[in-house]
Amino acid sequence: MARSGISKSLKLLHQFVESIDFCIDSGNKSKMFSKELNEKENKPRVSSNELRNFIAEAGVEPNFWSIPFHGVCYGKLLGSLSKMVDVMHFATQAIGLLVQESHKLGATWVILQQLIGEDLELFKKLVNSSVQCFEKVTSVASLEKLEKDLESKNISCDVESGKSAANGSEFNVLISENEEALEGVLSSFVKHTRELVDEAHGFEGDDRDKIKSQMVLCLSALGFWIDCLMKETREMEKSVQELVQWDNPTSHIHMSEIYFKINALHTHNKEQNTVFD
């Protein structure tokens, strides 16, 4: 239950990060967006609490016929996941307020959508690539069985050529393989935030200073969320690597390769099902 709980929580985290978006019109659409974002924030929180219970229960169960439960590693994963869930609120509130007040930002809102929106899209790709990898890798109980399934179905995996395509982007799969790109995104976000604050124009009404202060606060909260997710994704990668190695002590663990093999098997099975349908 703890293993499946990890995979479920990671999937919900992936869905939340993917839902972060600035390209929202004002009016009813912005209200609907804020509501949907709050709902997506709540799901990983509930799942994280369930996972905490699963880990506590698994820690006291006897392990006569299986590998001992790695409570320390699960605790690390839960810790990173909990921190990620906790800071979701910063992103939800920041974007919700910016979208809600977008009609007051005038031309600055258009610039913000373009510049910060581009930074967020790149960040989402980089982080979610790792999160999706963690989700799929933790869903596989035995790497030996995975290899046997690939062999029995005669699936040949050209891992080197498939790494860049495994996550459907120009980046590598894991965050540790994309450090330069991540630092570039963070630097770009900080630069664009400063530019928006320094050159803010087009605000409507007499409360210009208040609106500007709100924008600074929201973008700072968003920056904090980005920084925290980067840090905890790095920590989570180490913990997932440790967990997979614990469950497969005789295997050499390279997570992006495992991820590509899982995708190859899923693609093959999907194609086979399509043929029979």
Q: What is the DSSP letter of 175?
A: G
- Outline where the chain has alpha helix (H): 2-19, 28-59, 71-100, 102-105, 107-138, 143-152, 159-166, 179-198, 208-247, 255-276
Residues 6 or more apart whose CB falls under 8 angstroms from that of 274 comprise none
Q: What is the pLDDT of residue 164?
A: 45
Q: In angstroms, rounded to a whole number, what is the distance separating the alpha carbons of residues 260 and 112?
A: 36
Q: What is the pLDDT of residues 140-196, one digit of tens each?
A: 888 999 999 998 988 876 555 445 444 455 678 888 889 899 999 999 999 998 888
Q: What is the pLDDT of residue 202?
A: 52
Q: Is 53 a residue whose pLDDT tops 80?
A: yes
User: Whole-prediction pTM value?
Assistant: 0.84
Q: In angstroms, rounded to a whole number, what is the distance separating the alpha carbons of residues 209 and 15?
A: 35
Handedness of CA 65, 68, 71, 77 (dihedral sign): negative
Closest CA to 63 of 247, 187, 216, 274: 247
Does 1.20.58 match the CATH number of domain 2-139+179-249?
A: yes
By CB atoms closer than 10 A (0-12, 13-18, 19+), residue 152 is exposed
Helix (H, G, I), strand (E, B) or coil at 103: helix
Per-domain boundaries in the chain: 2-139+179-249
Question: DSSP letter string over 37-68?
Answer: HHHHHHHHHHHHHHHHHHHHHHHTS--SSSPP
Q: What is the pLDDT of residue 42?
A: 85
Q: Is 275 a residue whose pLDDT tops 70?
A: no
Q: In angstroms, rounded to a whole number, what is the distance separating the alpha carbons of residues 57 and 165?
A: 39
Q: What is the pLDDT of residues 191-220, one digit of tens each?
A: 998 888 776 655 555 677 787 788 889 999
Mean pLDDT computed over every residue of the chain: 82
Q: What is the pLDDT of residue 101?
A: 75
Q: What is the band of 136 on the pLDDT scale with cuts at 50, 70, 90?
A: very high
Q: What is the pLDDT of residues 58-87, one digit of tens each?
A: 766 665 445 667 788 989 999 999 999 999
Q: In angstroms, rounded to a whole number, what is the distance separating the alpha carbons of residues 138 and 99?
A: 36
Q: In angstroms, rounded to a whole number, what is the distance separating the alpha carbons of residues 124 and 181?
A: 12
Q: What is the pLDDT of residues 220-270, one digit of tens each?
A: 999 999 999 999 999 999 999 999 999 898 888 899 999 999 988 888 888
The residue that leads in pLDDT, 32 or 64, is 32
Q: Is 34 a residue whose pLDDT tops 80?
A: no
Q: What is the pLDDT of residue 165?
A: 46
Q: What is the pLDDT of residue 32?
A: 61
Q: In angstroms, rounded to a whole number, what is the distance separating the alpha carbons of residues 202 and 63?
A: 65
The answer to whether the beta carbons of residues 167 and 173 sit under 8 Å apart is yes
